[in-house]
Structure 1
Amino acid sequence: MRKIKILTLIFFSTLLLSSCGEYQKVLNKGTSQEQYKMAVKLYESKKYAKALRLFEKVMPAYRGKPQMERIQFMIAQSNFNEKNYTLSAYYFDRFTKTYPRSSKKEEAAFLSAFSYKLASPRYSLDQTDTNKALLAFQLFINDYPNSPRVEEANKHYKELRYKLEKKVFEVGKNYYRTAVTDFRNYKSAIVTFDNLISDYLGTELKEEALYYRFKAYHDLALVSTERKKEQRLTDAVNAYDKLVRNFPKSKFLKDSDKLLSEIKEEQKKLVKS
């Protein structure tokens, strides 16, 4: 049994070395036709990294030829499968522009958008790829309204949009948290929450944004000078009214009512003075 295992190991090791040697030989000294044939074989065997090296070698020789359409798509797909998402987004997008009549155009357009989504980082980082993905999915939905992929495209679009909303919301919350040491940040928080609500109509974060907006108005009013306090207390009451008007059964209502009571007390003090 042990002898059989050793012989099997030797056989597969020899086979592996042979295949590696053949790959290097074709890569370095093979004709364009041999390189293309092996690249397709490796692609179909899901050995995408090796296939890419060969496709890159043969591209100049096949430029303008019928095979080039297939090569371009396989390069994009190989990068996608290798998780080189920024590259796959670029190559799929280029494919749609280079081959507008291709039967693969719809698939390439979707995968370009999806690649940008997969390249998109968490909400706290730069969102360039998120914006590219949103634009690409919107264009896909517009160009292929009857595509079976539209439902999935809408789902991805919603997730990406939420990521941008979350980024703005967290910026507003950070302004609010840091206003303890710099009260000017209360105003920045209010502006940020206003922008979130106006720029992203229907956002899932609207209730919480209105709550923090009200808290910022409340806290700003309490630390204001006598000259500015009256107007800012009024602004805080208006912010409370906006929260309750939009969310009469808000989960933040109990705390908001407590803060409103504090505002009313401050208004009474101003009247007495």
Structure 2
Amino acid sequence: MLKIKKISFLLLTLVLLSSCGEYQKVLNKGTVEEQYKLAVKMYETKKYAKALRLFEKITPSYRGKPQMERIAFMVAQSNFNEKSYALSGYYFDRFTKNYTKSSKKEEAAYLSAYSYKLASPSFSLDPTDTNKALEAFQNFINTYPNSDKIEEANNHYKDLRYKLQKKYFEIAKTYYKTADYDLRNYKAAIQAFDNLLADYLGSEFKEEALFYRLKAAHDFVLKSTVRRKPERADDAIEAYDKLKRNFPESQFMEEADEMLATLQKEKKDAEDLIAKQLELQNSLKK
């Protein structure tokens, strides 16, 4: 029994060595046609890395020929199966643009968008691929509204949109949380929350964003000079009104009411002090 196993192992090894030898021989010295046939064979047997090396070699020779459409799709699919998602997104997208009448155009459009989604990192990192995926899914949804992939595409789009919202919400919160060390970050936080609310009207973060926008504006008033307080208090009170108008039963309403009372007092005290200062200046001119 042991002897049979050894023989089987040796035979398998010889087959593998022979296969590797054939691959290297065709890769380095085979004709373009031989390389094409072997590339397809590697692709069909799921040896995608080897297929890609061969496709890379033969592409210049097949450019403009009928076989190039098939090669282009297999290159994109091989990169996808090798989990090189940024590359597969690019190649699938290029396929849709180069082969507008292809029967595989819809599939390529979907896989391009899905590739970019898989390439998209966590919300805290560079959103380049996330933006590409969003745009690609939006184009797919607009172009193929009756596709059997439309529900999946819509779900992917929602996931990506949520990821971007979370990213921008966390950036705005970071500005707010670091404003004690750099007062300019109060302005940055207010602007960041305003941008989020303007860009994502139905945002899942709307209630919390409105609340933190109010907090940033409230705290900015407390750190402001007397001369700046009335104007900044008005902005903060407007932020309070937006929160209450949109979420009258908000979980943050109790704290928001306390901030409103503080803002009204800060504004009145600042206006009274400014009025007294002006009165004093006028009396000294006389």
TM-score bucket (shorter structure): over 0.9
In the other structure, the counterpart of 1:237 is 237
Counting only pairs closer than 5 Å after superposition, residues 142-221 of structure 1 correspond to structure 2 as: 142-221=142-221
Structure 2: 5+ residue runs without aligned partners?
274-286
- Deviation of 1:70 after TM superposition, in Å, equals 0.9
Which residue number in structure 2 is paired with residue 124 of structure 1? 124
The letter of the residue matching 1:253 is: M
Aligned amino acid, residue 141 of structure 1: I
Q: CA deviation at 1:74?
A: 0.4
- Which position in structure 2 is the counterpart of 1:50? 50
Give the SS at the match of 1:71: helix
Q: Tell me the SS of whatever aligns to 2:228.
A: helix
TM-score, structure 2 normalization:
0.88
> Conserved in 1, the CA contact under 8 Å of 2:240 and 2:256?
yes
Give the CA deviation at 1:224: 1.8
Residue 135 of structure 1 aligns with an amino acid whose one-letter code is E
Supply the distance in 1 between the matched residues of 2:52 and 2:258 (Cα, whole angstroms). 64
Equivalent pairs, count: 273
Alignment match, 1:4:
4
Distance 1:270 1:31, change over 3 A: closer
Deviation per CA, 1:140-189: give whole Å up to 9, x if none.
11111111112111112222222222222122111111111222221211
Distance in 2, matches of 1:163 and 1:69, equals 35
Distance 1:212 1:117 in 2: 30
Where do 4+ consecutive residues of structure 1 move more than 6 Å? none
Output the amino acid matched with 2:159. E
Query: What CA distance in whole angstroms lies between the structure 2 residues aligned with 1:240 and 1:264?
Result: 11
User: Is the deviation greater in 4-13 or in 197-206?
Assistant: 4-13
Find the counterpart in structure 1 of residue 251 from structure 2. 251
Identity %: 67
Residue 154 of structure 1 aligns to which amino acid in structure 2? N
Deviations 1:106-159 (A, max 9, x none): 111111111122222222222222222222211111111111112111112222
Query: In 1, distance between residues paired with 2:208 and 2:42?
Result: 52
TM-score w.r.t. structure 1 length? Answer: 0.92
Give distance in 1, aligned partners of 2:224 and 2:167: 29
Residue matched to 2:278: none
Superposition deviation, residue 271 in structure 1: 7.5
Query: Counterpart in 1 of 2:34?
Result: 34
RMSD, aligned CA: 1.9
